[in-house]
Amino acid sequence: MKPVLTARGLTRRRTTCAIMLSLLLGIAAPSLSAQGVDSHIPNLAGIWDGGFSVRPVNGEKVPWGEDNFPVLNERALAYQQVWEEIISPKYDCQPASSPAIQYDPYHMQVTQWPDRVMFRYEKDDQLRTVWLDGREPTSLDFGLQGFSVGHYEDGVLHVTTTHFVFDVTGFDDYNGIPSSSQKVITERYWREGEELRITLTVEDPMFLREPTSYSTRWLPAAEDYRLAAYGCDPEASRASVRFYPSKYK
């Protein structure tokens, strides 16, 4: 005999299906403030524009400049000496990681749930999850984007990310500065009117003598904007490297 599905059970099943469908489609959750949660939780949800019209184009000195360029140790300086463009893993379609991906001139979608915040980057089609439920990383949680935990405080989302893997362009792909598994990224997100603001700090004693930081912003995307797919063909991407002259013979 088949079990009888009660009205309560049917409602619960429909609710579960709706949540799963929202996650699969990347639909932004309603803002937490609209759900009656304490006002110390900022409304960060939505699609945000970080393109060329919003902030300077990143490069060798952006967002790094004379006042915040990292103080490198001898190991990092040695890596810079052997660095050249053709060895960058981006030509093998490896995604960027923190602190570069937050400044790349693309859109980003933020989704807030009670136990997590999800950042989906249009650049490289990357998804980061910031856990708010107190969980701690394990030895199995190392990865290119690391493991992120966070909490809200006074209208600010605080995020700490650890457990990165070694990345030959882990600082950025312009200056030839790598990053190690000791890299720690701390981020603060808040709203200033229509702007989404961030201050990001990088620590990595394997390559940096002291922490370094930058701040930037996003603006709301156009009302009908949807994140575009980021297509990267490794064969086509690596083929372009032949046009970069090597400094080694």
pLDDT digits 0-9 by tens, 111-143: 999 999 999 999 999 999 999 999 999 999 999
Helix (H, G, I), strand (E, B) or coil at 67: coil
164-176: average pLDDT: 93
The pLDDT mean for the chain works out to 87
What does the DSSP assignment read for 168-182? EEEEETTTTEEE-TT
Please answer whether residues 89 and 106 qualify as being in contact, where contact means their C-beta atoms are separated by less than 8 angstroms: no
* pTM (two decimals): 0.83
Domains recognised in the chain with CATH numbers: 45-222 (2.40.128.20)
Please tell me the predicted confidence (pLDDT) of residue 13.
Answer: 52
pLDDT digits 0-9 by tens, 45-94: 999 999 999 999 999 899 998 899 999 999 999 999 999 888 899 999 99
Kindly state the tokens that stand for 118.
């999800």
Please answer whether residues 164 and 142 qualify as being in contact, where contact means their C-beta atoms are separated by less than 8 angstroms: yes
Please tell me the predicted confidence (pLDDT) of residue 126.
Answer: 96
Residue 24 predicted with pLDDT over 70: no
Upstream peptide bond of 220 is cis (omega within 30 degrees of 0)? no
pLDDT digits 0-9 by tens, 178-224: 999 999 999 999 999 999 999 999 999 999 999 999 999 999 999 99
The Cα 121–Cα 39 span in angstroms is 27
**Any idea of the CA torsion for 55, 61, 67, 69, to the nearest 10 degrees?**
120
Percent of residues, the chain, with pLDDT higher than 90: 69
